[in-house]
Structure 1
């Protein structure tokens, strides 16, 4: 084999390693595939106490391997970062592209988490939100915290629809966040289901929802805000007039029925929400 071919093979191996590990220096390509794990599930103090009373020992449940897609802005960093969780239909290429491009253009490292592919799940729109996704969020937080180009003190969580509901649960005061060593700095939830949330959050939280959403109604989020105890961090609710569920998805420009609910893109609400989210994250990250 010629010297040139040997060098070419070595270069190719290095490229493959970068694509899998996401740890190469310099600027990473957009949508760079990475592998990570969900956070291990720790037994709660109550569960441990009950187990001890019964002569049992509870073990930590190891994390699940996950696929992710990493995008970073130009430069060495360290940069603030955002973990993004998809909705109940999974991580589409269009959502992956739009969120990665938008958030990285604001100067953030972006990690899109695919919660379904390694679990063999296609969608969960007619099921209860899997609790595992909360641990996916914290596994992504741990992954980003270990990257030299990320500021581990400035990592936010953002989710839409079912991912937004997961976001609220992940930062619920006294919930799973209490068991985690690393904490998110802030959270943004697009059109989440607020029915089960008590509104008390461990970090500053922004909720963005459409006035006409009939899948995850804005009224439920308004009721959640009214019953907040006042504990924890500030929570901001922005309701956009005339907007329906999935108002940020340009693929739904003419509107459609999805699982018995109306989903429809709304350019005005999308633009307004992007401005609101950008200001919120900038304030949360301290400038």
Structure 2
């Protein structure tokens, strides 16, 4: 931090950092472990993009679903969010761990800290404001995003913390809903991989699965449910009305359009330049 302060004072922090062009390929960067006490650290990688200008910018850590494909998440959301004026980092949680997917198996323990790997990397950059970083997750990545900001989970282990969180299609059954930062949840009514009602119960403060909830503690959590949308409704190749095995993600794309606008507004409100 002292080195960073000296460089800022010298005006060197204003120099643009090399990263992927918004409309081109991202820069693939190494991500070290976020836990100093991790006995078996694995170096991951991520896809980095930055907007034009010197910053410091707000930034977003993106977490993919159980089937990986971090570059698709980068192409679908990282590129667009960078065009909105934010640095984006799409984390590859599976590739260097040599894991094909986690759809039918539990995560490795240290995968739960991958959001903070991304935050650590971004917080050390001269073009990022470490106080304006959000975490955005999809499906299982959405659960990781919620876990990263729930009170008394893992957020207290780290000096740098997220300013806001966004979760597409999360499973909400295991959370008390006591989020430490503003949180946006977007999910389809026809979701068949998780239960929409679990998210409604969490936000309303209704207890379930032995979890005692307090509705007053969930006021910072905003839940948006899209009536005609199913799991992975944001994925372009499934629109309009293209069928996944057993369901239709988004019949007309309206849910994706609305969710995109909601995400944009939420980021501007929580990590935008004030």
TM-score by length of 1: 0.80
Matched, 1:29 2:20: yes
* Structure 2: runs of 5 or more not aligned: 1-14, 206-212
Q: Secondary structure at the match of 1:262?
A: coil
Give the structure 1 partner of residue 174 of structure 2.
196
Change (3 A) 1:106 1:121: same
Q: Secondary structure at the match of 2:258?
A: helix
Give the structure 2 partner of residue 127 of structure 1.
105
Matched, 1:278 2:264: yes
CA distance in 2, matches of 1:164, 1:262: 20
Change (3 A) 1:187 1:139: same
Give the structure 2 partner of residue 45 of structure 1.
none
Q: CA deviation at 1:180?
A: 1.1
CA distance in 2, matches of 1:41, 1:91: 27
Q: CA deviation at 1:92?
A: 4.7
CA distance in 2, matches of 1:79, 1:99: 17
Give the structure 2 partner of residue 262 of structure 1.
247
Give the structure 2 partner of residue 234 of structure 1.
220
CA contact (8 A) 2:203 2:218 kept: no
Q: CA deviation at 1:219?
A: 1.1
Q: CA deviation at 1:285?
A: 2.0
CA distance in 2, matches of 1:203, 1:272: 22
Change (3 A) 1:187 1:91: same
CA distance in 2, matches of 1:103, 1:273: 13
1:141 to 97, 108, 119: 119
Q: Secondary structure at the match of 1:112?
A: strand
TM-score by length of 2: 0.83
Q: Deviations over 1:232-279 (max 9, x none)?
A: 77111011111000000012231211xxx6352451010100111111
CA contact (8 A) 1:33 1:69 kept: yes
Give the structure 2 partner of residue 156 of structure 1.
134
Runs of 4+ deviating beyond 4 Å: none
Change (3 A) 1:273 1:265: same
CA distance in 2, matches of 1:65, 1:208: 31
Q: Deviations over 1:59-91 (max 9, x none)?
A: x53542001110000111110000000000002
In angstroms, what is the RMSD of aligned CA positions? 1.9
Equivalent pairs, count = 244
* Structure 1: runs of 5 or more not aligned: 1-23, 43-59
Change (3 A) 1:179 1:199: same
Q: CA deviation at 1:127?
A: 1.9
